[in-house]
Amino acid sequence: MFKNSFFKNKGPVSLKLIFDTCNLSSNINDNKIKLYDVKNLDLSTNKDITFFHSVKYKDQAKLTKAKFCITTNNLYKFLPNSCEPILVDNVLLSLAKVTKLFYPTSAIDNFKLNLKKIKKSFIKKNNLHIGDNVLVGKNVLIGKKSSIGNNTIIEDNVIIGSNCSIGSNVILRSTILKNNVHILDGCIVGKKGFGFFPYKNENFRYPHIGCVVINENSEIGSGCTIDRGSLSDTIIGKNTFFDNQIHIAHNVKIGDNCIIAGQVGIAGSSIIGNNVMIGGQAGISGHLKIGNNVRIGGGSGVIKNIPDNTKVMGYPATEIKKFLKEMKIKND
């Protein structure tokens, strides 16, 4: 994960304030204990607080270096002795409250009003090609020989590498593009994800403080939407190509050399390996692992992990030989 330049960390935060915010009492001398950030299990240090809400992440929980962990009575047994559990009824609700202590602006996703046109001297110096009505925010970096189409918006702190092309009517927020990345017309990259959870007949949104990273030599087709991560980043690998109208949810990690056809949807926190091909209109559920060299047929619905070198199709997606055999039986 890159150092967060998109949301300002207000830490350190006292453990007492964290307990008070979560409406908890503590026997720990929490006035003097300070925590510096909130992070995922695998990224935390002994100065951070983390969270553990699903047994799917027990392996990461066992290895976490976090000082404190927001979790439940059923899960804290997986934590190492060095990590003190903070037991709550609803982990995600408490996480949302704690994240806002460190990043109070993370729940805000309003349009930036301080955007300006790029100076002509900068355009000439860096050999840029800039269309009409292009607006950029503060601290934006644009590499040499890049081009930006008409009516595109580049918001604060976005980084665009060299030899990139950004189409018309694109919005980039909380985004890092490496060299030679191509974003086609109408894409929206880096907006907050669809992170909701129900609690007592209400829906709550938890903050998204991550960003989107698109690595070298990749292309994003027209009309795609890529959400920024919640606590970690949404990452697109090298030499990966998207067709049009694809949606990538928060925290998704896509490997190198992947090809994804139109109208595919990948739900939050799923991990896609290298050299994966996904057919049009396939859907992949959240928190799954898709191995290297996997092939997913068009229109498939993936609801479980897929190992390396596997071909699947159908709903629910099954190994393709099994799928074809079942289809033959149905048609006989």
Catalytic residue at 53?
A: no
User: What DSSP assignment string belongs to 250-292?
Assistant: TT-EE-SS-EE-TT-EE-TT-EE-SS-EE-TT-EE-TT-EE-T
DSSP, collapsed to helix, strand or coil, labels residue 99 as helix
Contact 162, 217 (CB under 8 A): no
Strands 225-226 and 247-248: parallel
Distance set, CA 105 to CA 8, 50, 109, 255 (Å): 8, 19, 9, 30
User: What DSSP assignment string belongs to 144-181?
Assistant: TT-EE-TT-EE-TT-EE-TT-EE-SS-EE-SEEE-TT-
Catalytic pick among 53, 247, 250, 287? 250
Contact 248, 225 (CB under 8 A): yes
Active-site residues, by number, are 250
